[in-house]
Each structure stands twice: as structure tokens, then as C-alpha cells.
Amino acid sequence: MKSAIYPGTFDPMTYGHLDIIKRAANIFDELIVGVLDNKEKTPLFSADVRVNILKEATKDLPNVKVESFGGLLSDYCKSKGIYVVVRGLRAVTDFEYELQMSQINRKLSDNKLDTVYFNTSLKYSYLSSSSVKQIAQFGGDLTDFVPDFVADMLLEKFDQKN
Ligand code: PNS
């Protein structure tokens, strides 16, 4: 069985992420979506909430599993026996950071871990979790960016903050 992991912060998941998940799930037998639980960063949503958002959004994709992980991605992959990392590339500007991350992961895994890139669908090429949060903060329309239930969660979050 060919498994892969799609790691990320997903704070929150957008339609751009979901598009990559669906396309990768069509290629691999099993896709783990790995949600980084980084105690040093303060994301808008806790790791548990981010995992639940992804679980809800992927509930109709039987070969997709959502889990959180901490520490090094290469260690997490080793513990699961997974040697393919999936990442999305929106534009050339993503490439440098992605290449560096891929090389580090390869080095840390004794050259076992490879990264495959999906070019983001053109209609999501401008989309990021950060821009979605900013739009939500100022009450903008999120219809084309995140599922409705995520938009509601974002608006509630920013209501509480204000
Ligand atoms: O969605 P993001 O924030 O671009 O995802 C980045 C992520 C989570 C894939 C990356 O930060 C990561 O793998 N972090 C775990 C720590 C790690 O393994 N670092 C070494 C590679 S740079």
C-alpha cells in the first residue's frame, strides 16, 4: 500500500488545501493529513479544532486520515513508515522555502523521505490561511475560500476577540 503524508499548519484549512488533499487521495492508497501542533506558535485554532475541521471536510474521502503531530516531520514519518511528503506549490515564491524543507527532511531521514509537489489549482493560487484570517477579521466574504462551517467558526472567533 502506498501511503503519503500532507503536513501543514492548516490554521484554518482552505479550499486550496482541500483541493490538494482530494488530488493526492486519488493518487495514493492512503493519505495522512498531518496537522502540526507547535507549542511555540499561537495559532488561531487549537490543534484539536484544526484536526476536527479537516476531519469534517474530508469525511467523504475514505482513504484520508487526519492526525496531529509534534516535533520533526521526519520523525513522525519514520514512526508511521511513510516516505512520501505531499506539498502544494502556489507560485515560484513558495519554491525556495519548500525546496529547503524537502532537503532538510531528506537529510534527516537518511535520504528516505521524498517530497512531491502538486501545483495549486489556478483558482486557489492566491489563497492562504493568513489572508483568510485577515478577511474574516474585517468581516469580508469567505464564500469562495473556506467551507461555510469554517467561515462561521472564523467569524465567531473574531467576534469573541473584538
Ligand atoms: O502549512 P505550513 O505552515 O506551510 O506547514 C509547515 C510544516 C508544518 C510542514 C513544517 O513547518 C514542518 O514540517 N514542521 C515540523 C518541524 C520540522 O520537521 N522541521 C524541519 C523541516 S523545516
Cα of 62 to ligand 1 centre, how many Å? 25
Q: What is the pLDDT of residues 51-73, one digit of tens each?
A: 999 999 999 999 999 999 999 99
Cα of 115 to ligand 1 centre, how many Å? 12
Nearest CA to ligand 1 atom 6: 8
Ranges of H-type helices in 28-110: 47-57, 73-80, 92-108
Q: What is the pLDDT of residues 113-137, one digit of tens each?
A: 999 999 999 999 999 999 999 999 9
Residue 17 falls in the annotated catalytic set? yes
* Helix, strand, coil percentages in the chain from 3-state DSSP, rounded to 5: 45, 20, 35
For residue 100, pLDDT beyond 70:
yes
- The three cell numbers of residue 129 are 490561511
Report pTM: 0.97
β-partners of residue 67 are 34
Nearest CA to ligand 1 atom 20: 72
Given pLDDT bands bounded at 50, 70 and 90, which one contains residue 162? low
Given pLDDT bands bounded at 50, 70 and 90, which one contains residue 39? confident
For residue 160, pLDDT beyond 80:
no
